[in-house]
Amino acid sequence: MIYMFFKLTDEQLMIQTMVREFSRKVVATTAAERDRTKEFPAENFKKMGELGLMGMMVPVEYGGEGTDTISYVLALSEIAYSCASTAVVMSVHNSIVCESVNKYGNEEQKTKYLPQLTSGEFIGAFALTEPHAGSDPVSQSTTAVRDGDEYVINGTKRFITTGKNAGLVIVTAKTDEAKRHKGISAFLVEKGTPGLIVGNIEDKMGLRASDTTDLIFENCRVPAENILSKEGDGFKIAMTALDCGRIGIAAQSVGVSQAALDAAVKYAKGREQFNQKISKFQGLRWMIADMATEIEAARQLMFSAAAMKDRGENYTSQASMAKLFSSEMVNRITGKALQIHGGYGFTKDYPIERFYRDARVFTIYEGTSEIQRVVISNNIFKDKRKP
């Protein structure tokens, strides 16, 4: 085990400062209203594309910024601070879609799709989960059958982030029913492809400005050239993508929890009970101290996983640790912050109510907390025990 202490570079600090300013001045101003109306923040993503936030880790030759992962998680945390709905779309787009196309796409695919993704012209989605295949993606039933120069995809994907608004979707499907992991392949499917049907938008508890839908494939014909890597690599692509995605969820968790802590401190400084500000009460101050400590611990786990990825090391376990701790942490932090607000925290007059709802799904998507424990323990015992 290598222990590290992080000192951000001038470039990383510059990126953090730039995104923080954009997040507070642009993203935050409509976050509450979008939560109420469920309006997708399309114009924000256009601006984020202009700022280079929609292809941060993509090489410059494909229109990206070529930044390291630490710069990316700093930026994502700042967006999450203001709007978790915007952050989850940014995370899936960067961590999973752009990373997968850049890592596994051929030169033609990268030249065709990455510039559209990095500019924000296309927003990416990742279609893995199915109605009966959530934590167990090997049991998916979506199929892709080769027919000449095309694959014909049939099946239903469930809970797809940006399912309605995505311009490009990475879809996993079985190409060989006789095999398990090796029988799954991944495909690049563009919006508007005949046979790709967008289902109803879920009415969710949180992340309400981020659309979550079913994607239904009915004899959806995709050019054979749109297979990502080769037949049988879909499961490997998905698991690799989720490693980076889990660092993204850690970053989202850090951003939301920091926003909740700041809101609690602000409220405590202004609220008076028993003839003094409640910030003077020792019990509350200890709550704040514990909250700040947990956030810092999560931040360091996030940095550790990001640094391992940047060094080209196997970071699967570290990403799961960061995701597990951070997602559980943000639920504790938002709960304590709401408690500090008292009855006012239960109303929509204060943003903590939104933070509390948004945070709840962080322990569920891109692998539940229980699945993260399976991944971590498998790494410790060096075996492949099933959940």
- Choices 3.10.290.10, 1.10.540.10, 3.40.50.2000, 3.30.1600.10: CATH for 10-123: 1.10.540.10
The three-point CA angle 113-164-231 to 5° equals 50
**In this predicted structure, which of 40-54, 167-181, 347-361 has the lowest mean pLDDT?**
167-181
- Confidence grade of residue 354 (pLDDT, cut at 50, 70, 90): very high
**CATH class of domain segment(s) 236-381:** mainly alpha
Residue 63 exposed, middle or buried by CB count within 10 Å (0-12, 13-18, 19+) = buried
Cβ atoms of residues 171 and 237 within 8 Å: no
Catalytic residue among 33, 50, 366, 370: 366
Asked if 61 is an active-site residue, the reply is: no
What band does 7 get if pLDDT is binned at 50, 70 and 90? confident
Q: pLDDT value at position 176?
A: 80
Question: Phi/psi of residue 333, each to 5°?
Answer: -65, -45
User: Mean pLDDT throughout 7-20?
Assistant: 96
Q: What band does 386 get if pLDDT is binned at 50, 70 and 90?
A: low
The per-residue pLDDT for range 299-323, each reduced to its tens digit, is: 999 999 999 999 999 999 999 999 9
* DSSP string covering 302-341: HHHHHHHHHTT---HHHHHHHHHHHHHHHHHHHHHHHHHH
Q: Is pLDDT of 160 > 70? A: yes
Q: Please state the pTM of the whole predicted model.
A: 0.94
Task: Band the pLDDT of 385: cuts 50, 70, 90.
Answer: low
Exposed e or buried b per residue across 46-59, where buried means at least 16 C-beta atoms within 10 angstroms of its C-beta: eebbebbbbbbbbe
Task: Give the span between the Cα atoms of 346 and 341, in whole angstroms.
Answer: 8
Task: Give the pLDDT mean for 62-72.
Answer: 97
CATH class assigned to 126-232: mainly beta
pLDDT tens per residue across span 89-146:
999 999 999 999 999 999 999 999 999 999 999 999 999 999 998 888 888 999 999 9
CA distance 142 to 155: 4
Enumerate the domain spans of the chain. 10-123, 126-232, 236-381
Would you state the pLDDT for residue 1?
Answer: 47
